[in-house]
């Protein structure tokens, strides 16, 4: 019985990444909203919303413990590799509720070579939304959000807009 209970709790925790309890009036930026003022750092430096001006900004929030995020990592990796050297697109991968060490270990184990930012306290994430990952925001060169994706990362849809 004890193992059955553990199994059930484990299964529920896997679905928690996208199916969080949504309080009435939950918050998320939407198409047409401006990117909020923010700044986030990693060992390579600091990026703020000012650094995204005059570029497409692709911001993807994820967690390595989220099963839907894990499924999305191949698309995230494709997008990252496509845009990492493109001067007109800036891609930011932001790990919600995780430390740099946790994400680095997961990326190393799964052979992902992507730069990311850790947001262990949801300081940046909370400016964009209050629940649900993976979560994607694509802003145009004026900083206006032109696409959002929730619970998925659709690389084809993003590529159609940015190419």
| Both structure tokens of 138 | 């694509």
CATH number belonging to domain 29-162: 3.40.30.10
Bridge partners, residue 91, by sequence: 58
pTM score of the predicted model: 0.86
Other Cβ atoms less than 10 A from the Cβ of 11: the count is 9
Show me where the domains of the chain are located: 29-162
For 93-114, what is the mean pLDDT? Answer: 97
Residue 15 has pLDDT above 60, yes or no: no
Supply φ then ψ for residue 117, to 5 degrees. -120, 135
**Cα–Cα distance for residue pair 120/102, rounded to 1 Å:** 10
Q: What distances in angstroms separate CA 47 from CA 35, 37, 80, 117, one per listed residue? A: 13, 11, 16, 9
Alpha helices in 16-163 (DSSP H): 67-83, 100-109, 125-128, 155-162
Average pLDDT over residues 3-23: 44
Q: For residue 118, what are the CA distances in angstroms to 43, 85, 94, 115?
A: 10, 21, 6, 10
Give the burial class of 101: count Cβ atoms within 10 A of its Cβ; 0-12 exposed, 13-18 middle, 19 or more buried.
Answer: exposed
Percent of the chain past pLDDT 70, that is, above it, reads 85
Mean pLDDT estimate for the chain:
88
Closest CA to 138 of 86, 85, 92, 73: 92
The rounded Cα 138 to chain-centroid distance in angstroms is 11
Would you state the pLDDT for residue 24?
47
On whether the CB atoms of residues 103 and 62 are closer than 8 A, the answer is no
How do residues 70-101 score in pLDDT, each as one tens digit?
A: 999 999 999 999 999 999 999 999 999 999 99
């Amino acid at each position: 019985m004890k193992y059955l209970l553990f199994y059930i709790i484990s299964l529920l925790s896997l679905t928690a990444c996208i199916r969080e309890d949504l309080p009435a009036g939950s918050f998320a930026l939407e198409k047409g909203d401006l990117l909020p003022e923010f700044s986030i750092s990693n060992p390579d430096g600091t990026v703020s919303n000012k650094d995204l001006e005059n570029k497409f900004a692709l911001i993807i929030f994820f967690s390595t413990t989220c099963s839907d995020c894990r499924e999305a990592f191949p698309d995230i990796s494709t997008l990252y590799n496509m845009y990492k050297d493109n001067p007109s697109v800036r891609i930011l991968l932001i790990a919600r509720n995780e430390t740099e060490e946790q994400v680095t270990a997961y990326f190393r184990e799964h052979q992902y070579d992507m730069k990311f930012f850790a947001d262990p306290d949801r300081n940046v994430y909370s400016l964009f939304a209050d629940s649900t990952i993976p979560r994607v925001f694509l802003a145009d060169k004026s900083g206006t959000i032109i696409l959002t994706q929730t619970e998925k990362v659709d690389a084809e849809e993003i590529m159609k807009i940015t190419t």
